[in-house]
Amino acid sequence: MADDAGNCMLIEDNMTDMYNDIKSKLPKILCLHGYRQNGDVFKHKLGALRKALKKHAKLFFVTAPNKLPSAEDSSLCSEDVQKSAFGTDMMFDSKKQSDVCLGFENSLALIEETFEKQGPFDGLLGFSQGAAFVGILCGMQETNWLKYEFNFAIMVAGFKSLCHPHLNYYFKQSSVPSLHVYGTNDKVISREMSELLMEHFVHTEIIEHPGGHFVPASGPQRQGYISFLEERKCEVESEEKRKRLTVKAEPWPDLWGLESESGKALGTAMAPPLLLLVPRPLPDSDSIPHWSGQGSALAVKSPVTQTISIHAAYSSPR
């Protein structure tokens, strides 16, 4: 019996470890840069935000696959590393309608590959054109057009794409929880443009800042990011607990000789009993017959009497 009790303690310890892992797990966020940036430049620009979120999320950066020609007025990065999330059109303008989206399929393929090799990712974060791209991905997920899934989206200086081929991705509102960040003095992407994108989401939260076209990370905005991420983390943990509280039945032939409290055999060689593992945190006492709700235990269902018995430890077959 001592060995059996030890087995129960091992099960209890393993369950405790699993819950500690869930508690300590940080959400993984894939970050998409803006027009004429790349992953490294965006990572550098998000230094303050990365520092603020280091205890709340892990940020990963990717560089769009479409190289742009040099621009005389571009001071963001060198010609060799200038990129675009949507296409190779040097004259891209977020405020103008277009029938062209060259390179869009390349960008979709890159994100899919990144999810396969470095994912899964819990959420997406995009800035400017990257945020518009995130909005499109949310619409694609809503219509089951993606091979991967994510649980939330953060869009900074986001906007609705005016490219005609992209309109199909906005027909249905996205149920992905979303955080929309915009500056009241942004001269590149106006507040109204970001609000137009917000209309295509069911669950939205807003961070408004008095600045321009950048990713804010000061005190008030920092807390907004953290609150949003903590809400998403709680949702994930609740779902994980719900799954673990679902009692699972598995054949356990070693319990053939176990007897119920009345002394009757719980099973036979032709109809062995089922072992029901009761995880932690334990369910309410009303959820399982004869369960006091104290400590950890094994529940055994008899195929003969169709009743459930609770045992602190199970015995070896006789």
E strand segments, 2-148: 28-32, 58-62, 66-67, 83-84, 123-127
Q: Which candidate in 213, 227, 254, 260 is catalytic?
A: 213
Is the backbone peptide bond immediately before 65 cis, with ω within 30 degrees of 0?
A: no
Q: Which candidate in 186, 194, 302, 309 is catalytic?
A: 186
What whole-number distance in Å separates Cα of residue 217 and Cα of residue 223? Answer: 9
What whole-number distance in Å separates Cα of residue 306 and Cα of residue 280? Answer: 24
What whole-number distance in Å separates Cα of residue 269 and Cα of residue 276? Answer: 18
Examine the residue annotation and report whether 200 is marked as an active-site residue of this protein: no
Nearest to 132 by CA among 33, 30, 28: 33
For the chain, how many residues are written? 318
Buried b (16+ CB within 10 A) or exposed e, 62-74: bbbbbebeeeeee
Examine the residue annotation and report whether 128 is marked as an active-site residue of this protein: yes
What whole-number distance in Å separates Cα of residue 11 and Cα of residue 248? Answer: 14
Tell me the residue type at 242. Answer: R
How do 248-251 and 58-62 pair as beta strands? unpaired
Q: Which candidate in 84, 94, 107, 128 is catalytic?
A: 128
- Containing 248, the helix (H) or strand (E) segment is strand 248-251
CA dist list (Å): 72 to 75, 78, 86, 307: 8, 11, 21, 79
Positions annotated as catalytic residues are 128, 186, 213
